[in-house]
Structure 1
C-alpha cells in the first residue's frame, strides 16, 4: 500500500501572480509547478514515496500570495478581509467540494462500510481546513491498526495552506490598519520582519518537533509554516536581485536538479519537515531568484532553464496542478480498493494518471475558471449573465457542501448509535455467542447476528489500548500497568507487541478469578527481539524506537522478576505458508533463562495474509463476504505443528501455549466462529473473541503454572 505520509500541492489554483515587475508574468514558475506536480503524481502512483513536491508548492504559494499582499501593504491600500477570504474561497472551494462529492459517491460504491467512518471524518476535516490536525492526532492509530489509506488523506496540505493564508491575511490587515501613518517602506519592513521572525521560529520548532514526534510534526502547521514563509521572504527580496546571466543559469540548473533528485535521495516520510526539507525549499528559491529581479524585463530573452520551464506543456500542467492533485490520490486509492491490490503497476498506473489528468482539465475548465471573478467590474449584459451563472453555481456549491456535512455527521451518528450497544459485548451470553467454544467444545451455534458487527469491530480492542497502557510507535517510554488481581503476589508479565497485548482480555479475567496479577510491558509492533535494527511488521521500515524500548523493558523485567513472562514465540511467513520461530527471539529467551525467569511461550495467532498481502476480515464481510470466504485455509496460516516445539529441550523454563485449535478448525481459519467475529482488523483478535478463549487459556495456564 502507498505510504500513509503522502504529499499534496499547496496551491491557490491560480496562474502565477506578477513578479516585482507588474507587467511580467512568471511562466517559468508555472512550469516549475508543472514539474513538481508531475513528480508528486509519479512518486505516489509508482514509487509510494514522497517526492518533495509539496515543499515546492508551499514555497511557491508563499511567494505568489505573500508577494501580492506585500504590494498591497506597500501601496497603503486597506485590506478587506471579507473580500480576500471570498476571493480565496472562489479559487479553492469549488474544485475541492466537487472532488469530495465524487469521492463520497465512489467510496459508498466501492469501499465497505468499515471505511465510511474515516472518510466522513476526513470529509469534515477537509471542508473545515483542519485535515492536517486530524491526521496528526490519529497518525499512530493509522499505523497501529493497519488502517487503509484514505482517498482524502492527501488534503492535509490544503489545510496547512488555508491556515497559512488566513494567518497572513490577518497579519497584513493589522499592519495596514495599525501602521496607516507609517510610510510604505516602513509598513513593508514591519511585515517582512514579522515574517522573518515567524519563519525562523517555525524552522526551529520543526526541528524540535521532528525529534519529539516526527509523524505528528509532518502534518503540523507550525512545523510547516517556515516553508511558505520562505516564499514570502523571497517575494520581498526578489526586486533586489542583480545576478549575472551565468549565475542565474547555474542557480536554476542546481535548483532543478535538486528538486528532481530529492525524492530519490531523501526519505521525506521520515526527514520532513525538519532540516532536510531545506533541500527542496532552497532549490525552489534558487529557481525563483534565477528568473526574477528588476533587471529581468519582459522583453529580455529568457535563459535556457527558464525557457525550458516556460514550455507550453509544463505551463499547462502547472495550470491544472491544483485540480490534478485533488484528483490523482483518490483515483489511485479507489482503484486499488476496487481491484483489491496493494500498488499500481506500469500500465494501470499510467491509466490512473491519464484519468486524473483528464478529470483535472475538465475540473479546471468547467468548475474552477467559470467561478473565478473575471470582468465583474465591467457593467455589461455578459457580466450580468456571468454574475447570474456564478450565483447559481455558488448556490449549488453551498448545497453540495451542506449535503456532505449532513451525510458525514449522519453516518458518524449512526455508527455511534451502533457502538453504544457495544458495551454489552462483555456480557454476551455464552449460549448464544459461544465463540471459541464452538471449536473446542463443539458448542451449539444459534442463528444470530455476528458480534461484534463490522461497525463495532474497530473499537473492540483490548483494555490496554483504551487505557493508554501500550507505548505508541514513535515513543520509547516504558509504560507498565497492572490488571487481574492487583493485590496478588503471583505475577505474570505480559510483554512484547500488540500480538501479546490482545491476550490481556483473557488474562485480566483469569487473574481476577484465579488470584494473580498481570503487569504489562507493551509497545506497538515491537515483539521482544535482539535485532539491532528492528523493522515494523509487514514493511521494511526501520524501527529504532523498538530497540530502545526493548532494552529498557528487559532491564525492568529482570529487575521486577515476575513469576512468568507471557510473550509470543512465532511469526508468520509473509512470502509463503506457515509460521516459524524468528532467530532473533532466542537471545531474549536466553537472557530470561540466565536470570531464572520462566516463560509462557505462546504460539502467535494467524495473520490474514492472502497471496502475501494482508486483508481485513471485517472489511471483507462488510463487502459481502462470509465467514469462510473472509478466512484462510489453515495450511496457509499455520505450519503443521507448533515451530516452538523444536526449541522445547533447549529452554526447560519455557512452557508452550498453543490456542490455534481454538481459533482455526482442522481445515480453515474462519472470520467468524460461534457467532463471534474473530479479528477486529488484519491480524489482531477481537476482544470479544479473546474473551471466549479464556476457558482454553485457563486450562493451558493451569498445566503450565500449577496455580490452580
Structure 2
C-alpha cells in the first residue's frame, strides 16, 4: 500500500471537499481502484491483479515528491519529522491487524501453526516479512486454508525499507548539492533513473527463483523509484490535452485488463510489471494539468468519483484486513474457494473493519494535534506492539526448545517407536506419545534442507551423502518429494557402502524439456535447472538415478495417482545416457473433499491416527501407474513402498507411534528413517550391491 503524500506532509485526503489547492483527487481514486482490483482478484480469481504494483509506484511518486519539496525549500534536512510521520502512518493499523490476527490464530488455528504466525508477526513488525517469505520460498499463492494469513504484508515491508533508504539517499544527496549551490531536482532524477534501470535489470536477469524475486526488495525497488523519477520530472512535462485524454483511456484500460492477461505471480517484478506500473504512471501524467485540482480528462473525472475516493481513503487499512479475513473464512469453512456470497461477505467485513480502523485509529493519530487522546491511543498501540513481539519471540523459543529432541531421533527405542515396521503382520505396538512432538514436526526435515542442498535458484548444486568414498553411486534428483527419501538413502549408503549425490530444487521434478528454453514459460526456472542437471548426469553418469515416478491426479480427473508423460520423456532421455532409473512411487497427498489438510494440525485438533486418515483408494491407484508407463523401458525399475505408508484401506498419519507426515504431503525424516529396511530390501534386489 502507499503512503499518499501531499504538501506538506504524509497524509491522505478523505474527500475531495477537503482537498487543498493543487491536490490530485483523481490519484486518491486511483488508489481506490487499485485496492478494489487487489481485493476482487484475491477473493474471486486467485491471481495477482497488478494493484499492489500500482501502490508501490504511487508510494515512490508521493514519498520522493514530499522529500523533494523539503530539499528544494530552505528548511533544514531533519529526518525525525519524516520518520515520525511514517511511523504514524504505517504502524498503528499494522499493529492492530497483527494483534487481531494473532488472537484469531490462537482461537482458530491448531497450535503447530502458531509457529508460522509468530514468525511472520515478528517479521512484519520489523518490516522484514518479504525477506522471511523469500527465505522460506513462499509462493504468492491463491488463497487457500494452508496459506499464511500474513503473507500479504511483504509489500508493507518493501515500502518500509524503501522509505528509510529513500530518506537517506535524498537527504544525503540534497546536503551535498546544497554545499555546492546546485539544483536538487535534476541530479536526483538522474540518480533515481540509474537505480530504476539497475533494479529492473536485476529483476529481469537474476538467476534467483521467481519465489525469491517476487519478494526481493532489490528486484522490487524499481517499481518505487520509477515513481520517484516521475515526481522529479513532473514539473517539466507538458502534455497536450488530446494526448492526455488518449493516454488516460489507454492507461485505465491496461490497468483494468492486466490481471486477466498477465500472471503476476509468475511474471512480476520483471519486465511484465511495467504494464501495471506504466499504466499507473500514465494515469498520473494524464490525469490533470499541473497545479490544478479539478479533473479535466474523462479518466480523471472517473477516478474522482466519490466511491473510488472513499476506497482510496481506506486503502491501507483495507489492504491490511482483507487477506486475514479471506484466509480466516477459508480456514473456518474448510474451503478452497469462496463463491459469490462468501466473497461478498469477506469484502463487506473487510470494508467495515477498514472503515473503522481508518476512522478511529489512522485519522486520529495522523491528523489530530498532540493531546491526551492521541497520546493514550499511541501508548496503547505501542504496548500492544511490544507485547506482540515479546509473545512471538517467546513462542518461537519454546518451539525451538521442543525441536531439540529431533537431534536424538537415532536414539529412539525401536520397540516403542517402530514406525513403518508396525505395518508388518503380527506387530503389536504399545501406544506412546507420538514422535516427533507435534509442535516440532514441521522441523523434522531431511538433511538437504537443513544444509542448503535443495536449491532455490536455477544453478544445480550437488551434495554427497551415504559413503562419500564409495565408487558405487546413486543420484537423487528432483524436488522435495524426491528429497524426503534422502534420510533413508543416507542410512543405507553408510550401511552398505554406496554414495548418494543429490541434485534437488524446490518445487521442480527433473524434466527433459526440449530446447530452446523459453524464458516466458512458467516452468523456465525448472527447465533451466533440469538442463544443468541433465548435463551433469551425462558428463558423469551415476549407476542409478533415484527419483519419483507418480503424481496425484488433478482434482477434476478424479481420485488416484498417475505417471505424467514428461516423466516418461525424462526416463527415455536417461536411457539414452545409459543410466538406469529407480522410480519410486510418490507418497499420498492428504486431501478431504478436494481440500488439502495438514496431518499435524488434524492431530493437534483432537484427531486420532484413524480419524485423520484418508481412504487409500482416493489417493492411490490399485497398481503403481509407473509399471505400465515404463513397460517399454527396461532401464526403469519401479519401486512402490505404499504398503509401508498405508494400510490396506486407509493411509494413516501416525504409524508405530511415529508421525508420518510433517504437513499435507511430505514425510517426516523420522518416519523415512524407519522405511530404510524396506527400501533397503528393494534396492538390494535391484542393484545387487549387498
Matching residue of 2:646: 664
Matching residue of 1:518: 500
Are 2:337 and 1:332 aligned?
A: no
Native 8 Å contact 1:11 1:161 kept in 2 = no
Which residue of 101, 117, 127 maps to 1:103?
101
Task: Please list the CA deviations of residues 124-158 of structure 1 after superposition, one character each: whole Å capped at 9, or x if unmatched.
Answer: 12111222222222226999xx9932211111111
Matching residue of 2:150: 152
Alpha-carbon separation, structure 1, partners of 2:515 and 2:318: 39
Alpha-carbon separation, structure 2, partners of 1:36 and 1:647: 48
Task: Please list the CA deviations of residues 537-562 of structure 1 after superposition, one character each: whole Å capped at 9, or x if unmatched.
Answer: xxxx9423333443443444354343
Matching residue of 1:204: 201
Which residue of 269, 272, 280 maps to 2:268?
272
Matching residue of 1:31: 29
Matched residue SS, 1:243: coil
Offset of residue 416 of structure 1: 0.6
1:12-51 superposed matches below 5 A: 14-15=11-12, 23-51=21-49
Alpha-carbon separation, structure 2, partners of 1:533 and 1:115: 42
Task: Please list the CA deviations of residues 407-433 of structure 1 after superposition, one character each: whole Å capped at 9, or x if unmatched.
Answer: 000110000110012211222110110
Judged with a 3 Å threshold, the aligned counterparts in structure 2 of structure 1 residues 358 and 511 are, in CA distance, closer, same or farther, namely same
Matched residue SS, 1:401: helix
Matching residue of 1:581: 563
Offset of residue 531 of structure 1: 5.1
Alpha-carbon separation, structure 1, partners of 2:336 and 2:516: 23
Judged with a 3 Å threshold, the aligned counterparts in structure 2 of structure 1 residues 664 and 652 are, in CA distance, closer, same or farther, namely same
The farther-off stretch of 395-404 and 543-552 is 543-552
Native 8 Å contact 1:452 1:688 kept in 2 = yes
Judged with a 3 Å threshold, the aligned counterparts in structure 2 of structure 1 residues 81 and 582 are, in CA distance, closer, same or farther, namely closer
Offset of residue 35 of structure 1: 0.7
Matched residue SS, 1:436: helix
Matched residue SS, 1:151: coil
Alpha-carbon separation, structure 1, partners of 2:635 and 2:248: 67
Alpha-carbon separation, structure 1, partners of 2:628 and 2:163: 63
Offset of residue 255 of structure 1: 1.5
Alpha-carbon separation, structure 2, partners of 1:529 and 1:174: 50
Matching residue of 1:290: 286
1:393-408 superposed matches below 5 A: 393-408=377-392
Native 8 Å contact 1:16 1:64 kept in 2 = no
Native 8 Å contact 2:512 2:531 kept in 1 = no
Matching residue of 1:389: 373
Matching residue of 1:365: 359
Native 8 Å contact 1:9 1:325 kept in 2 = no
Matching residue of 2:680: 698
Alpha-carbon separation, structure 2, partners of 1:236 and 1:152: 34
Judged with a 3 Å threshold, the aligned counterparts in structure 2 of structure 1 residues 668 and 284 are, in CA distance, closer, same or farther, namely same
Alpha-carbon separation, structure 2, partners of 1:436 and 1:271: 43
Give me the TM-score of the superposition, normalised by structure 1: 0.89
Alpha-carbon separation, structure 2, partners of 1:172 and 1:649: 67
Judged with a 3 Å threshold, the aligned counterparts in structure 2 of structure 1 residues 147 and 466 are, in CA distance, closer, same or farther, namely farther
Are 2:130 and 1:132 aligned?
A: yes
Offset of residue 180 of structure 1: 4.7
Are 2:501 and 1:504 aligned?
A: no
Matched residue SS, 2:545: strand
Alpha-carbon separation, structure 1, partners of 2:471 and 2:128: 49
Are 2:257 and 1:239 aligned?
A: no
Which residue of 598, 620, 625 maps to 2:607?
625
Which residue of 336, 341, 359 maps to 1:342?
336
Equivalences, count: 677
Which residue of 418, 423, 430 maps to 1:446?
430
Are 2:480 and 1:495 aligned?
A: no
Alpha-carbon separation, structure 2, partners of 1:527 and 1:399: 47
Which residue of 532, 537, 543 maps to 1:557?
537
Judged with a 3 Å threshold, the aligned counterparts in structure 2 of structure 1 residues 200 and 293 are, in CA distance, closer, same or farther, namely farther
Task: Please list the CA deviations of residues 153-175 of structure 1 after superposition, one character each: whole Å capped at 9, or x if unmatched.
Answer: 11111122222222222334335
Matching residue of 2:254: 258
Are 2:226 and 1:220 aligned?
A: no
Offset of residue 525 of structure 1: 3.4
1:414-453 superposed matches below 5 A: 414-453=398-437
Offset of residue 44 of structure 1: 1.0
Alpha-carbon separation, structure 2, partners of 1:214 and 1:191: 31
Judged with a 3 Å threshold, the aligned counterparts in structure 2 of structure 1 residues 483 and 583 are, in CA distance, closer, same or farther, namely same
Native 8 Å contact 1:10 1:58 kept in 2 = no
Alpha-carbon separation, structure 2, partners of 1:533 and 1:620: 44
Matching residue of 2:663: 681
Offset of residue 526 of structure 1: 3.4
Judged with a 3 Å threshold, the aligned counterparts in structure 2 of structure 1 residues 390 and 487 are, in CA distance, closer, same or farther, namely same
Task: Please list the CA deviations of residues 84-127 of structure 1 after superposition, one character each: whole Å capped at 9, or x if unmatched.
Answer: 21122112211111111001101111112222122112111211
Judged with a 3 Å threshold, the aligned counterparts in structure 2 of structure 1 residues 75 and 482 are, in CA distance, closer, same or farther, namely closer
Native 8 Å contact 2:140 2:211 kept in 1 = no
Judged with a 3 Å threshold, the aligned counterparts in structure 2 of structure 1 residues 695 and 11 are, in CA distance, closer, same or farther, namely farther
Offset of residue 674 of structure 1: 0.5
Native 8 Å contact 1:578 1:638 kept in 2 = yes
Alpha-carbon separation, structure 2, partners of 1:237 and 1:592: 57
Task: Please list the CA deviations of residues 299-356 of structure 1 after superposition, one character each: whole Å capped at 9, or x if unmatched.
Answer: x673332222111111111101111101111111121122222232221011111110
Matched residue SS, 1:526: coil
Matched residue SS, 1:458: helix
Native 8 Å contact 1:28 1:307 kept in 2 = yes
Task: Please list the CA deviations of residues 254-280 of structure 1 after superposition, one character each: whole Å capped at 9, or x if unmatched.
Answer: 221121112222222222222222222
Matching residue of 2:443: 459
Give me the TM-score of the superposition, normalised by structure 2: 0.91
Judged with a 3 Å threshold, the aligned counterparts in structure 2 of structure 1 residues 597 and 239 are, in CA distance, closer, same or farther, namely closer
Offset of residue 400 of structure 1: 0.3
Alpha-carbon separation, structure 2, partners of 1:229 and 1:551: 36
Matching residue of 1:380: none
The farther-off stretch of 697-706 and 393-402 is 697-706
Alpha-carbon separation, structure 2, partners of 1:638 and 1:271: 34
Alpha-carbon separation, structure 2, partners of 1:285 and 1:326: 24
Alpha-carbon separation, structure 2, partners of 1:534 and 1:204: 22
Native 8 Å contact 1:440 1:661 kept in 2 = no
